Chain A
Amino acid sequence: MATNTPPHGAFRGFGAPQCIFALERHLDKVAATLGLRPDELRRRNFIAKGHATATGQVIAEEVDMPALLDRALRESDYHAKCERFARENAGRHVKRGVGLASFFHGAGFTGSGEQHLASVVGVEATSEGRVRILVSSTEMGQGTNTILAQIAAQMLEVPYEHVDIAPPDTAQVPNSGPTVASRTCMVVGKLVESAALGLKQTLTGVGLLKEGYSTAEFRHACSAYIARHGSLRSYSQYQAPPGIHWDDEKYQGDAYGTFAWAVYVAEVSVDLLTYEARVEDFVAVQEVGRVIHPVLATGQIEGGVAQAIGYTLYEKVAWENGRMANGQMTNYIIPTSMDIPPIRVIFEERPYPYGPMGAKGIGELPMDGPAPAILNAIENATGLSLVSIPATPETLMTTWEGVHA
């Protein structure tokens, strides 16, 4: 096929932000047509336990979308702002509005992806009682090393400082799969949990360790085991949670073991002199199972929301003769510290039995909701119904002039 654009790669959340953008923009149109408030239309149609998804997956977990919605509406003061902005916008050139999006994101590879990968994780101990995690999952700033060490430390009841992560070099570590698909914490972390448990059971099984042991006793047990057997290592391989079925032929069934659920609310201002849209406030409420590390988890959400604000308002890729014409920071505009509103991150915790300590995936979720929430807010503020992003000043001006010519 002839094409004028170079090959594209996957970026955080790929597939989901595109679908959810269309769906959540459309829901606001449906609500307006029916004369319902956007939150009310969603509330009446929320998915819940026992309902089926587009792939025929019957939701088996407890889901409480109305609770997430209530929390998001309350924290953002949504209804009061709707009423106040509608009253104040008349006669002002800076229009304000609020918009929301409700959505979910599956964690781990889709369908039978994780079964095909069959990831393996190892946990080993040294005769000094240090624990070493063997994974090919890569730390790139998202906090993988911290949370995997936390999981192993907790399972083995040793201090966090006694846990090391082997370099992700496949000469040294088994294939725990790629660092993608919001899977590292939930899928790889669960394997770390079970490999660590296996290591502990090895020591208790041979009578070298008894429940309620101290760090010193753990060290002695490791040392004694290694003196006898040469090394102390435990591996764990992925197995699908029970009751998961997927049909690769028909692409139907349980697409994911579980989902993260969210309701986001954006407040925007649109200046009709400069046609600049700004996000003034952002509330992100989500249920991601148990939160293993609150600071890192909050950082994942805030960072994802900021990236999404970037692609919603600023980041326009300009193609010219098969090349990106603005591949520099000078003209490809990403958000600065002046552009990001306060992002208020709220977690509702509902432990997932097949994630480590109850955790689900989190990485991609925050990329999904902001774009439709912001465009819904822009429509709420101005009446302009944008169907594409980024909502640059040029787009807003052209659309406004088209409507008000």
Chain B
Amino acid sequence: MRKVPITLTVNGQPRTVSVWPMERLLDVIREQLALTGTKEGCGEGECGACSILFDGQIANSCLIPALQADGSEITTIEGIGCGEELTAVQRAFVECGGAQCGICTPGMIVAAVALLRQNPEPSEADLRQGLAGNLCRCTGYMRIFEAVRSACKEGRLRQ
């Protein structure tokens, strides 16, 4: 078995990396691309901590063999907003108490962004459904819902 070069677009930048064929995309993101904002939770596709946008769709990066990412376009939490440059959803998470221990937070924000791109005015049921693939053990979800609702409201005010 040998490593294979793949080319993908990561947060808008073309990148080429050598990967083992069955290496998890999550490990390529964290170790080769050094984008450690994406977290590993369960490693079996249940918790959503490793959520990324894969060709615009939300996906668990722990379940994607790296070879499958050849030619794809991925967005990690760093591509959504980083450091002082936060998006409305991220600012809302800070203000509303949407994060406690923080392990689910990057994936949860990616899921919220994916939801709002598809559906800028989600109902309560849409919101719950949209975040159902991302487990949070600390918050009880209420502050997270409030953060997403608050980001929607800010979006409406800006229009």
CB distance from B151 to the nearest CB of A (A): 16
| Beyond known contacts A140-B101, A336-B132: 8 more, CB 8 A cutoff | A141-B102, A299-B100, A299-B138, A302-B141, A304-B140, A307-B137, A334-B137, A337-B129
User: Which interface residue of B41, B44, B138 has the most chain A CB atoms within 10 A?
Assistant: B138
Q: How many residues of A contact B (CB 8 A)?
A: 24
Tell whether, in the assembled complex, residue B142 and residue A340 are in contact, meaning their CB atoms are under 8 Å apart. yes
Q: Is A305 an interface residue (CB 8 A)?
A: yes
Q: Is A178 an interface residue (CB 8 A)?
A: no
Which residues of chain A in 251-309 are interfacial with respect to chain B, using CB atoms and an 8 Å cutoff? 295-296, 298-299, 302-307
Indicate whether A329 sits within 8 Å of B135 (C-beta atoms), given known contacts A141-B101, A141-B102. Answer: yes
Instruction: Tell me what chain A mostly uses at the interface: helix, strand, loop, or mixed.
Output: loop
Which residues of chain B in 68-113 are interfacial with respect to chain A, using CB atoms and an 8 Å cutoff? 96-97, 99-102
CA–CA, A334 to B132, complex, Å? Answer: 12
Q: Is B33 an interface residue (CB 8 A)?
A: no
The residues of B that contact A337 with a CB separation of less than 8 Å are 127-129, 131-132, 134, 136, 141, 144-145
CA–CA, A269 to B138, complex, Å? Answer: 25
Contact of A306 among B44, B97, B129, B139 (CB under 8 A): B139
Interface residues in chain A, defined as those with a beta carbon under 8 Å from any beta carbon in chain B = 140-143, 295-296, 298-299, 302-307, 328-330, 334, 336-338, 340, 342-343
Chain B interface size band reads 20 to 34
CA–CA, A296 to B46, complex, Å? Answer: 27
Question: How many pairs, one residue from A and one from B, have CB atoms within 8 Å of each other in the complex?
Answer: 74
Contact of B143 among A302, A305, A307 (CB under 8 A): A302
CB distance from A369 to the nearest CB of B (A): 14
The residues of A that contact B136 with a CB separation of less than 8 Å are 337
Which residues of chain B in 2-58 are interfacial with respect to chain A, using CB atoms and an 8 Å cutoff? 41-42, 44, 46-47
CB distance from A398 to the nearest CB of B (A): 27
CA–CA, A374 to B102, complex, Å? Answer: 29
30 contacts between A and B (CB under 8 A): A141-B99, A141-B101, A142-B100, A295-B96, A298-B143, A299-B97, A299-B138, A299-B140, A299-B143, A302-B139, A302-B141, A302-B143, A303-B137, A303-B138, A303-B139, A303-B140, A304-B140, A328-B46, A329-B41, A329-B46, A329-B135, A330-B44, A330-B46, A336-B132, A336-B135, A337-B128, A337-B144, A340-B140, A340-B141, A343-B142
